[in-house]
Amino acid sequence: KVESYSSGIKQRLKLAAGIIHDTQLLILDEPTNGMDPAGRKDMLALASDLAHHKAMSVLFSSHLLPDVEAVCDHIIVLGAGHLLVQGDIRELKAAHQGGFEVRLKENGASFARHLTDLGCTVQRRGDILLIQIPPNSSPAILWQAAAVTGQQIRHLRPQRSTLEEVFSNAVERSPCPL
């Protein structure tokens, strides 16, 4: 009879079977797979509650990084059977910051070239420039580049690092072929 249930109901039944025995370690492998948005939200809330408010450790495995971020405090990223990165999510995201989002009044090709010549990394995402300044530089380098190239900065804010960027950086730096 269980075979006729939807994927979402089957996922809920698996979770119930895992917690009914008052276990100390609960392993959830892709627990939101096949769920509708409401079921997914409920599953994430329950997993987060189990992880943070019950005397239970939760190992949460998922390719959906927003789900990981909603439930977990600590992550482990594996690739080709090797540990690529591990740590507190907030600390890992903070370690990947240092960049800025800049929107200029005009195109800004000369601004980007000038910053690249100064050792910055510049990427364009639509009308926003994502700029990583060198570790020994201050954000003042952005204002100086605008003055030298005759550009007007309309928008400037620190870039917010995402878990996806932490994951991508770990995979890119991996010596293992993935």
Q: What is the mean pLDDT of the chain?
A: 89
Asked if residue 19 lies in contact with residue 57, where contact means CB atoms within 8 angstroms, the answer is: no
C-alpha Rg value of the chain to the nearest Å: 22
- 151 assigned to some structural domain: yes
CATH code: domain of residue 153: 3.30.70
pLDDT score, position 178: 57
3-class secondary structure, 52: helix
DSSP annotation of 21: T
Domain that holds residue 43: 2-72
One domain for residues 56 and 107: no
Q: How many domains are there within the chain?
A: 2
**pTM of this structure:** 0.66
Cβ atoms of 169 and 96 within 8 Å: the answer is yes
Find the CATH number of the domain harbouring 11. 3.40.50.300
E strand spans, 65-152: 74-79, 82-88, 99-104, 121-125, 128-132
CA-CA distance, 138 to 90, in Å (whole number)?
Answer: 23
Q: In this structure, are residues 77 and 173 in contact, taking their beta carbons and an 8 Å threshold?
A: no
Say whether both 68 and 6 belong to one domain: yes
Q: How confident is the model at residue 176 (pLDDT cuts 50, 70, 90)?
A: low
Domain membership flag for residue 45: yes
Q: Is the same domain home to 8 and 65?
A: yes
Inside any domain, residue 93: no
**Section 155-177 average pLDDT:** 82
Amino acid 65: pLDDT: 94
Co-location of 107 and 68 in the same domain:
no
What's the mean pLDDT in 134-152? 93
Lowest mean pLDDT among 11-25, 77-91, 124-138, 158-172: 158-172
